[in-house]
Amino acid sequence: MPTENRTTLTPDTPVRYLKGVGPKTAERFEKLGIVTLADLLCHYPRRYIDFSKPYSIAEAPADTECVVKAEVFAKPGGRILPGGRRMERITAGDDVSSLEITWFNNPYAAQKLQLGQEYYFQGIVTGGMLRRQMVNPQVRTAEQIKASPFEAVYPQTEGLTSNAIAKCVRQLLPHAELLPDPLPPEMLAKYRLLSKADAVRAIHCPATEEQAYAARRRLIYEELLVLQLGIGRMKNRGAAATGAPMRLADPSLFWASLPFSPTGAQRRAIADAVEDMVSGKPMNRLCQGDVGSGKTMVAAACIWFAVENGWQTALMAPTEILARQHYQGLAPLLARFSIRCALLTGSTRAKERREILAGLADGTIDLCIGTHALLTEDVQYQKLGLVVTDEQHRFGVNQRAALSQKAEDPHMLVLSATPIPRTLALVIYGDLDVSVIDELPPGRQKVDTFALGESYRPRVQAFIRKLAAAGQQIFIVCPLVGEADQIPDERKAVTAYAKQLQEQVFPDLRVAVLHGKMKPKEKEKVMAAFAAGESDILVSTTVVEVGVDVPNATCMVVENADRFGLSQLHQLRGRVGRGKAKSYCILLSDSQNEETRARLKVMTQTNDGFRISQEDLRLRGPGDFFGQRQHGLPAMKIADLSCDMRLLDEAQTAARQLMERDPELTDPAHRPLRRRIRQLFDTNADMLN
Ligand code: ADP
Ligand code: MG
């Protein structure tokens, strides 16, 4: 029981008020993100040890953690080992076999056992049938098991074991009611959910497997509901919205202007989008297609269509290089239809910027391509009807909302190369329609991928030389690797590496450098020179990651490939294989870590971006997958966005119904929910306004 009886406990009471929690322990709790009693109650177990179905000694699986039920047969005294370690050894057994159990430096564990009594031992059984052994097991009595058959295992930290955490949690459980329940009673009844206090008690100390499951379900449900509602409030898109009204136009004119004919998948995606734009409702569509699948053309067709219908359009890209490349690709193409384009980025000069702003305000500019600069307040459109965002996952949810507010209810088209798993897409975009471009333009070849260790470096260098001799170009990407805790100096690291390559390895080739610290103009110059074939090797940090199109580049070498996420590697690989020649991706890594090797192996086995992103999501979790800051979503405590799909659907339906009935959540029954939403999103408070 908490020691400070005089203070009334609140959810915000610091954990140090708990019995047995001193300043040291409180500090360790803080490492786990636990400061208050509420934090502790919401520190959910990672898994349970199931004491309810113990093995007999003979049946216990070898070398695996398990629970064995056995009687204490013999209990000789302990002894001191050479070196001063204390050892106690007992013999336990059942009808068939016996088990030798040893504890080191823990005399108390053996002393409290009684001869002839049955216990549950949890640990790893080793040894053959004739001499089964266990070292330092956890011991429970039958009564203890009856009271709590499933024991919670918590995420722990140095100096704070799962057991110690469990002790603290257990003294708090009678106070679980401290936690406010954000879900209104009506909802609990309707969806058959446990109350918050019951769920918290059951998640820490379930009596049955079913109870643990019900508790999990309820807590995940709450988390997803709050998330959906928070995002729903952010989106702020009126239900009665009409979208920019448009009428059908004949796309064959547009097709005829292209140097190639669109793939079936491109045609379908465009048809989907056009159907949305004439529907009388705002389009909210994600166009998902692997790198190189030709999403830009889909965007161009939609832009053409919107402008034909008399609307202005905006195309937002995450980097200046990419915005520029879109501008250079699209402006001449669209000029054939007298569509006037402008490029607006952070480095647009003041005078030109003023002209562009004027053109957007009076409607003489039909398409504005740009970066985040499109979001600044002084950019006003006369009649914005369509907003396309490229490589969406680079933008936060809030930025997208900001752009859509530049007009009443513009149609939104999102292009994404990282195939976003359906669950995450639902969470991030809410009700969003998806078109998948599942077909690459003809003539594309699979990029051969190799994951190699350091010993292959000479061979890789020889290979690069061979490609360059054949007139092909090579990307070499290196991650930023800094000394511990130091922010690496990108410019220095990459420049030094390139210099070394140029002077010591490839004196006969032309090595260029590109990094994020360069001015946009410089970057563009280097990119343009590379695209024009004026350099053989481009050494860079991940600035080349997104979108860059150099068909003559046939080889992507990634240094320290283990430092990148799979989706990022897939993006990088997508920079090559865009021309006719056979292309290669070489992932260099000296990591011996098995998981890392397995991860890189996925890259050599598949070119399927969807599989890769799912694998990535599974291995890294959604937070890392997009980068917390990029997607702007709060971290989930218990829900797993990659697999709690059914609950997510349910929560989404409930959220929608709630938003319809009480959009501002002003009903007193909904206030706790509203408070919870604010709490969860308060690190991103500006998104909620
Ligand atoms: P991404 O989907 O990665 O954005 P892009 O739109 O940049 O792909 O297209 C990649 C390349 O394929 C570009 O050079 C583009 O001109 C070309 N391309 C696009 N559609 C087709 C097509 N239907 N047939 C042939 N080439 C195409
Ligand atoms: Mg693209």
Per-residue pLDDT tens for 390-419?
A: 875 555 555 656 666 677 778 989 898 766
pLDDT value at 177 more than 80: yes
Query: pLDDT category, 590, cuts 50, 70, 90?
Result: confident
Cβ–ligand 1 distance for 262 under 6 Å, the answer: yes
Please choose, from the candidates 20, 46, 52, the residue with its C-alpha nearest in 3D space to the C-alpha of residue 140: 52
Residue 495: exposed, middle, or buried by beta-carbon count in 10 A (0-12, 13-18, 19+)? middle
Residue 360 token pair: 């957007």
pLDDT value at 493 more than 70: yes
Residue 200 token pair: 């918290």
Query: pLDDT category, 483, cuts 50, 70, 90?
Result: very low
**Predicted local distance difference test score (pLDDT) of residue 687:** 36
Residue 127 token pair: 């040894």
Gap from CA of 394 to ligand 2 centroid (Å)? 13
Task: Please tell me the distance from the alpha carbon of residue 192 to that of residue 198, in angstroms, as a whole number.
Answer: 13
Query: pLDDT category, 685, cuts 50, 70, 90?
Result: very low
Cβ–ligand 1 distance for 211 under 6 Å, the answer: no
Q: Whose CA is nearest to atom 10 of ligand 1?
A: 292
**Predicted local distance difference test score (pLDDT) of residue 270:** 95
Could you give the C-alpha distances from 220 to 534, 649, 659, in angstroms and in order? 55, 12, 19
For 427-455, give the DSSP string: HHHSS-EEEEE--PPTT--PPEEEEE-GG
Query: pLDDT category, 428, cuts 50, 70, 90?
Result: low
Task: Please tell me the distance from the alpha carbon of residue 118 to that of residue 112, in angstroms, as a whole number.
Answer: 12
Least confident of 307-316, 416-425, 488-497, 603-612: 416-425
Q: What is the mean pLDDT of the chain?
A: 84
**Predicted local distance difference test score (pLDDT) of residue 430:** 61
**Predicted local distance difference test score (pLDDT) of residue 512:** 95
Gap from CA of 125 to ligand 1 centroid (Å)? 58
State the maximum Cα–Cα separation within the chain, in Å, rounded to a whole number: 96
Q: Whose CA is nearest to atom 24 of ligand 1?
A: 441
Q: Which helix (H) or strand (E) holds 170?
A: helix 162-172
pLDDT value at 683 more than 50: no
Cβ–ligand 1 distance for 260 under 6 Å, the answer: yes
Task: Please tell me the distance from the alpha carbon of residue 303 to that of residue 71, in angstroms, as a whole number.
Answer: 77
Residues listed for the chain: 689
Q: Whose CA is nearest to atom 5 of ligand 1?
A: 294
* Ligand 1 atom, smallest distance to 329 CA: 16
Gap from CA of 305 to ligand 1 centroid (Å)? 19
Residue 500 token pair: 């070394």
Task: Please tell me the distance from the alpha carbon of residue 374 to that of residue 348, in angstroms, as a whole number.
Answer: 11
Q: Find out whether 200 and 43 touch, Cβ atoms under 8 Å.
A: no
Please choose, from the candidates 412, 395, 333, 375, the residue with its C-alpha nearest in 3D space to the C-alpha of residue 546: 395
For 351-395, give the DSSP string: HHHHHHHHHHHHT---EEEESGGGGSTT---SSEEEEEEESGGGS
Q: How many CB atoms lie within 10 A of CB 521?
A: 9
- Backbone φ and ψ for 3, nearest 5 degrees, come out as -80, -35
**Predicted local distance difference test score (pLDDT) of residue 238:** 46
DSSP 14: B
Gap from CA of 395 to ligand 1 centroid (Å)? 22
Cβ–ligand 1 distance for 416 under 6 Å, the answer: no
Cβ–ligand 1 distance for 263 under 6 Å, the answer: yes
Amino acid identity for residue 187 in this structure: M
Among 132-146, 425-439, 538-552, 602-616, top mean pLDDT goes to: 132-146
Query: Angle of helix 645-661 relative to helix 422-429, nearest 10 degrees?
Result: 20
Please choose, from the candidates 477, 462, 551, the residue with its C-alpha nearest in 3D space to the C-alpha of residue 509: 462
* Cα Rg, the chain, nearest whole Å: 31
pLDDT value at 280 more than 50: yes
Reduced to 3 states (helix: H, G, I; strand: E, B; else coil), residue 404 is helix
Task: Please tell me the distance from the alpha carbon of residue 286 to that of residue 421, in angstroms, as a whole number.
Answer: 12
Cβ–ligand 1 distance for 609 under 6 Å, the answer: no
Average pLDDT over residues 317-332: 88
The number of CA neighbours under 13 Å toward the Cβ of 69 is 12
Output 334 or 395, whichever has higher pLDDT. 334
Q: Find out whether 566 and 613 touch, Cβ atoms under 8 Å.
A: yes
Gap from CA of 329 to ligand 1 centroid (Å)? 11
**Predicted local distance difference test score (pLDDT) of residue 552:** 93
* Ligand 1 atom, smallest distance to 261 CA: 23
Output 401 or 569, whichever has higher pLDDT. 569
Query: pLDDT category, 79, cuts 50, 70, 90?
Result: confident
Query: pLDDT category, 628, cuts 50, 70, 90?
Result: very low
Average pLDDT over residues 597-617: 83
**Predicted local distance difference test score (pLDDT) of residue 636:** 65
Task: Please tell me the distance from the alpha carbon of residue 562 to that of residue 589, in angstroms, as a whole number.
Answer: 6
* Extended beta strands in 82-192, E state: 86-93, 98-104, 118-126, 132-135, 138-140, 150-153
Residue 159 token pair: 């100096």
Residue 239 token pair: 């239900």
Cβ–ligand 1 distance for 293 under 6 Å, the answer: yes
- Over residues 206-245, the pLDDT tens digits come to 988 889 889 988 998 898 888 888 877 765 544 456 778 8
**Predicted local distance difference test score (pLDDT) of residue 402:** 66
How far is C-alpha 518 from the chain's CA centre? 28
Task: Please tell me the distance from the alpha carbon of residue 599 to that of residue 593, in angstroms, as a whole number.
Answer: 10
Average pLDDT over residues 120-147: 90
Q: Which helix (H) or strand (E) holds 500?
A: helix 490-500
* Ligand 1 atom, smallest distance to 295 CA: 2
Output 401 or 14, whichever has higher pLDDT. 14
**Predicted local distance difference test score (pLDDT) of residue 620:** 61
> CB under 8 Å, gap of 24 or more: what pairs does 610-618 form?
610/290, 610/419, 612/566, 612/567, 612/569, 612/570, 613/418, 613/419, 613/420, 613/421, 613/566, 613/567, 613/570, 614/421, 614/642, 615/566, 616/565, 616/566, 616/567, 617/421, 617/424, 617/641, 617/642, 618/642
Among all chains, which residue has been given the structure tokens 């471009």?
A: 437
Among 254, 257, 258, 260, the mutation site with the greatest number of ligand 1 atoms within 8 A of its Cβ is 260
Amino acid identity for residue 123 in this structure: G
| Ligand nearest to C-alpha 575 | 1
**Predicted local distance difference test score (pLDDT) of residue 15:** 92
Q: What share of the chain is helix, strand, coil (3-state, %, to 5)?
A: 45, 20, 40
pLDDT value at 36 more than 50: yes
Q: Whose CA is nearest to atom 26 of ligand 1?
A: 441
* Ligand 1 atom, smallest distance to 551 CA: 14
| Ligand nearest to C-alpha 296 | 1
pLDDT value at 286 more than 50: yes
Q: Which helix (H) or strand (E) holds 313?
A: strand 312-316
Share of the chain above pLDDT 70, in %: 85
Q: How many CB atoms lie within 10 A of CB 81?
A: 11
Amino acid identity for residue 577 in this structure: G
Average pLDDT over residues 48-60: 89
Amino acid identity for residue 556 in this structure: M
Cβ–ligand 1 distance for 269 under 6 Å, the answer: no
Q: Which residues of 111-143 are buried (b: 16+ CB within 10 A; e: fewer)?
A: eebeeeeebbbbbbbeeeeeebebeebebbeee
Query: pLDDT category, 686, cuts 50, 70, 90?
Result: very low
Please choose, from the candidates 300, 250, 247, the residue with its C-alpha nearest in 3D space to the C-alpha of residue 275: 247
Q: Whose CA is nearest to atom 14 of ligand 1?
A: 549
